[in-house]
Amino acid sequence: MSAKTSWVIDPTHSEIQFKVKHLVISTVTGSFKTFEGTAETDGDDLTTASINFSADVASIDTNQAQRDEHLRSGDFFDAESYPKLTFTSTSLEKTGEETYKLKGDLTIKGVTHPVVLDAEYGGAMTDFYGQSKAGFEVTGKISRKEFGLTWSATTEAGGVVVGDEIKLVINIQLIKQA
């Protein structure tokens, strides 16, 4: 059995984004500005990774202060009662040369559901400071209503204001710990 290798997310070179349909015709993109995560692998074998991640709900940013306040409120994330959203991996399965299926439990607003995300390995390199880094892009879709984010409104014409499907686009750079 090889030694355990620990990795941490480099927040300055990572981003956690989501996209949701607004009025069915356009897409709102948002992100969480404050987050942290770790991965532990057997040696450098990424398929053995055990991943833990959390984001501070209050750090949500959609470039519109009034909307962000609404998202933090009880109508949506209820950031005061549920300050973090978390993800804990259950498996990372290699599906291609640089692609993986990342499975795990996502908890939002106190509700946990299993999710399956696509992960693409971007490569590894050593930076100017001698730190080993590895990059991934993780994408997937979740239903906001499954996680208790059920706020809804309709337009006068009967259109839905906020879509149910949330697209996740997560770019992560991991730093290998000595």
* CA 157 – CA 61 distance, rounded (Å): 29
Q: How far is CA 58 from CA 51, 94, 104, 112, 119, in A?
A: 22, 34, 23, 19, 26
pLDDT for residue 124: 87
Angle at 169 between CA 163 and CA 170, to 5 degrees: 140
Let me know if 71 is exposed, middle or buried by CB neighbors in 10 A (0-12, 13-18, 19+).
buried
pLDDT for residue 59: 95
Q: What is the pTM of this model?
A: 0.85
Mind listing the domains of the chain with CATH numbers? 4-176 (2.40.128.110)
pLDDT for residue 151: 66
Instruction: State the Cα torsion 86-88-93-99 to the nearest 10°.
Output: 30
- Segments of the chain scoring below 70 in pLDDT: 1-2, 22-26, 151-163
Region for 118 from its dihedrals, namely left if φ exceeds 0, alpha if ψ lies in -120 to 50, beta otherwise: beta
**Each residue's pLDDT tens digit, 2-22:** 688 899 999 889 998 888 876
pLDDT for residue 79: 93
Paired tokens of 23? 């009025």
pLDDT for residue 162: 65
**Each residue's pLDDT tens digit, 133-154:** 889 999 999 888 888 777 665 5
pLDDT for residue 141: 92
